[in-house]
């Protein structure tokens, strides 16, 4: 049975999408996948888009966590940058 039509997002567009929009689509697509599977419909196209969006979300979360860890271990980096540029 054919699956639902799902918009295809270009990787470059996904990279600039707001995080809340990505999170909303990930949740929406997850729901569609579960629903369509229960009805015996094809889910491949939705799963592909879901994976691209989920990967971007995970990448951003990892990047944010790594940045927070770095700043926690190296507080002088922020202080030096802030105070060096405060006079400008």
What pLDDT digit, counting tens, does each position of 9-25 carry?
888 999 999 999 999 99
What pLDDT digit, counting tens, does each position of 36-84 carry?
999 999 999 999 999 999 999 999 999 999 999 998 888 877 676 666 6
Q: What is the C-alpha separation between 67 and 69, in angstroms, rounded?
A: 5
Give the CA count within 13 Å in the CB-facing half-sphere of 26.
Answer: 16
Q: Is 6 left (phi over 0), alpha (psi -120 to 50) or beta?
A: beta
Tokens 């006079």 -> residue: 87
- Report pTM: 0.77
Q: What is the C-alpha separation between 61 and 39, in angstroms, rounded?
A: 33
User: How many Cβ atoms sit within 10 Å of the Cβ of residue 22?
Assistant: 18
């Amino acid at each position: 049975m054919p699956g639902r039509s799902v918009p295809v997002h270009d990787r470059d567009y996904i990279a600039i999408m707001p995080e809340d929009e990505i999170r909303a689509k990930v949740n929406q697509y997850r729901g569609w996948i579960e629903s369509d599977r229960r009805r015996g419909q094809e889910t491949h196209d939705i799963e592909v888009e879901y994976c691209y969006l989920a990967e971007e979300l995970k990448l951003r979360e990892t990047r944010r966590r790594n940045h927070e860890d770095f700043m926690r271990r190296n507080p002088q980096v922020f202080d030096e940058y802030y105070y060096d540029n405060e006079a400008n």
